[in-house]
């Protein structure tokens, strides 16, 4: 494991950096990009989340006495779920608002009639289902426009996520520098646990 060698804070910073890079890749994705770009983002996301969650969970559990391990583990799980839910809510709202704004411009551009927009705004899947019902080139143009609106909406949301995680990297590195004297305890993760007599 990396944590015993580098320290929990360093591994956490590395994980956050990978998460930030993943969000940045998605933020700069174009509607015409292939799956390979999404694959890179997902690999970075998985590696980053693995580093952060493992390192911080080990540090939290390792710093508690045995009698409090259950409470510490439950609190850690609740914090992870709360953070994930908050992130999805904020980033999802940013994406949805931008996506719907992009669809509002389609009638003026002659891409789709306004009567289709309410259903299309529910989700990209609903918009693509509507596109399949439109004849020929009209359906293809509507599908392309909705995909582009979705990807355009993903940009601000992912940039926000990338910025937050980048700030987390700086905070983790700052803590690593400020708390450098406690590196030995940080590496072992057994600050408060004592051997039984």
13 HSE (CA, 13 A, CB side): 14
Q: Which position has the higher pLDDT, 124 or 186?
A: 124
Q: Which residues contact 57 (CB under 8 A, 6 or more apart)?
A: 73, 76
Could you report the per-residue pLDDT of 153-168, keeping only the tens digit for each? 999 999 999 999 999 9
Least confident of 56-60, 169-173, 177-181: 177-181
How many Cβ atoms sit within 10 Å of the Cβ of residue 165?
22
Alpha-carbon distance of 43 to 25, in angstroms, equals 11
Give me the percent of the chain exceeding a pLDDT of 70. 85
Please state the pTM of the whole predicted model: 0.77
pLDDT 10s digits, 83-117? 889 989 999 999 999 999 888 887 755 666 677 78
d(CA 143, CA 167): 37
Angle, CA of 80, 85 and 91, to the nearest 5°: 125
C-alpha 32/C-alpha 151 separation (Å) is 10
pLDDT band at 17 (very low <50, low <70, confident <90, very high): very high
């Amino acid at each position: 494991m990396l944590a015993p060698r580098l320290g929990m804070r360093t591994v956490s910073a590395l994980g956050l950096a990978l998460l930030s890079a993943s969000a940045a890749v998605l933020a700069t994705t174009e509607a015409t990009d292939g799956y390979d770009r999404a694959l890179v983002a997902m690999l970075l996301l998985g590696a980053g989340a693995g580093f952060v969650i493992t390192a911080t969970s080990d540090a939290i559990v390792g710093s508690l006495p045995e009698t409090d391990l259950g409470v510490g583990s439950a609190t850690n799980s609740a914090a992870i779920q709360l953070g994930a839910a908050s992130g999805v809510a904020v980033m999802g709202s940013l994406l949805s608002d931008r996506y719907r704004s992009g669809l509002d411009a389609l009638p003026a551009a002659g891409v789709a009639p306004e009567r289709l927009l309410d259903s299309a705004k529910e989700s990209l899947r609903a918009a693509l289902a509507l596109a399949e019902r439109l004849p020929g080139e009209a359906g293809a143009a509507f599908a392309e426009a909705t995909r582009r609106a979705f990807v355009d909406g993903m940009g601000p949301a992912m940039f926000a996520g990338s910025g937050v995680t980048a700030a987390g990297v700086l905070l983790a590195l700052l803590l690593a520098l400020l708390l450098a004297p406690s590196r030995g305890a940080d590496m072992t993760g057994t600050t408060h646990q004592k051997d039984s007599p």
